[in-house]
Amino acid sequence: MSNEIKMPSVGESITSATISEWLKNDGDYVTKDDDILSFETDKVSQGLPAGFDGILKYQVSEGDEVDIGAVVALIEEGEAPAGSDTATGSADGGSEKSEAPAPAASTSGNDDVKATPVAKKIAEDKGIDLSSVTGTGTNGKITKEDVLAIAEGASVAKLAASTPAASSAPATTEAPRVGRTSRHKMSPLRRKIADHLVSAQQNAAILTTFNEVDMTNIMALRKRVQDSFVSKHGTKLGFMSFFIKAVVEGLQAVPSINGQIEDGEIIQNHFYDIGVAVGTEKGLMVPVIRDCEEKSFAEIEQSIIDYAGKARDGKIQLSDLQGGVFTISNGGVYGSLLSTPILNPPQSGILGMHTIQQRPVAIDGEVVIRPMMYLALSYDHRLVDGKEAVTFLIRVKECLEDPERLAVGV
């Protein structure tokens, strides 16, 4: 009996999805909980489980864009065939296989390397040892593209070595050039990000105001309580929970930033669901931490860890990205000193964090060295006046420079 595996619905506004990668080979025996493929929409990237035990039969190819509800695979129900755990070609092939010539490079360890089934098959066919390949997939997994890039580079090197000029040319360590340019389709998620950013620039009056914060007290507090915090909560006390709590204080002090314009009307939000921008190999995602005014520091830190793991593994759901009232973007993790973040519509404000630098500052008439961070608040000037934006940013600064305020709510 054949069971149809259809592309699931992941949101009312999403009508199609793109097959990113097959995670199982055509003809493999799979179990119902196995993810057989990963797919992308213009909002999320996630895996699709088999749903049944049986033999997998592809109905679409990698890179295909398919409608929601379309059949992407068939599962032929039945018992696991003998040797199904080695269905990808590592089973003993008998005396004939033992007489086959050895590959150009040893691939005996490929079964233990973290790679997609398609990548392993290509590596086996081309005699590539996957232990020497750096994976660019989720959690460092080796993808088809990684193996093809190695294979293409090796082919170019072999061709260059076989030319007459190569024998007389001086030795060089420069990597062979595969080509001057390459072209590939934008993923649905990347297209959506591009459209989203352009729309934000065109439909809002974005203005940015700046300030700087002395991180001395937060860094001292974290150092003082870190061991106890980890022992009690099982997670580290990071900077982001302080910033989220400070933003909540700022939004409560300046409610206009916790609002949005819709159809000529102002919608005032009375909740504090804060989006935290997370960079992934698929692009920027902004999962939302709910009810931040009620969460403890430990609960916020755990939420960030959970979302970061889901984003890396491609398991972020559409519901995880919806409903935020304000966004925090941390360019400092990449070394950014200063930037002007773009609004995340329909929100009216976004706070940009940046790298911490030891800088000379004047305190009580003396120049001292302090760990300083520039802050940037971009806001929708249609709704938020300059005075309100500056007031908000100063409130955030005060809370961060005197973090005990966050603990006692003053």
Compute the distance between CA of residue 338 and CA of residue 375 in angstroms, rounded to an integer.
8
CA distance 299 to 312: 20
The two beta strands, 349-353 and 326-330, are: parallel
- What is d(CA 87, CA 89) in angstroms, rounded to the nearest whole number? 5
**Does an H or E element contain 367, and which?**
strand 366-380
Question: Would you call 213 exposed, middle or buried from its count of C-beta atoms within 10 A (0-12, 13-18, 19+)?
Answer: buried
Alpha-helix residue ranges (DSSP H) falling in 38-116 = 94-98
Q: State how far the Cα of 118 lies from the Cα of 21, in Å rounded to an integer.
A: 9
Angle 28-111-30 from CA coordinates, rounded to 5° = 20
Residue 400 burial (CB < 10 Å; 0-12/13-18/19+)?
buried
* Catalytic positions, written as ranges: 381, 385
Residue 297 buriedness (CB in 10 A; 0-12 / 13-18 / 19+)? buried
Measured CA distances, 298 to 303, 307, 308 (Å):
9, 14, 15
Amino acid residing at 51? G
258 contacts 264 by C-beta, under 8 angstroms: no
Can you tell me the distance from the alpha carbon of 57 to that of 66, in angstroms, rounded to the nearest whole number?
16
**Which run of H or of E encompasses 198?**
helix 188-203
Whose tokens are 């039969």? That residue is 57
Return the SS3 of 230. helix
Helix, strand, or coil (residue 222): helix
Taking the C-alpha atoms of residue 197 and residue 284, their distance in angstroms, rounded to an integer, is 11
Residues 167 and 185: their CA atoms lie apart, in Å, by 39
Instruction: Work out the angle between the directed axes of helices 297-312 and 216-233 (0-180°, nearest 10).
Output: 80
Are 289 and 303 spatial neighbours (Cβ–Cβ below 8 Å)?
yes
Q: Please choose, from the candidates 383, 154, 92, the residue with its C-alpha nearest in 3D space to the C-alpha of residue 257.
A: 383
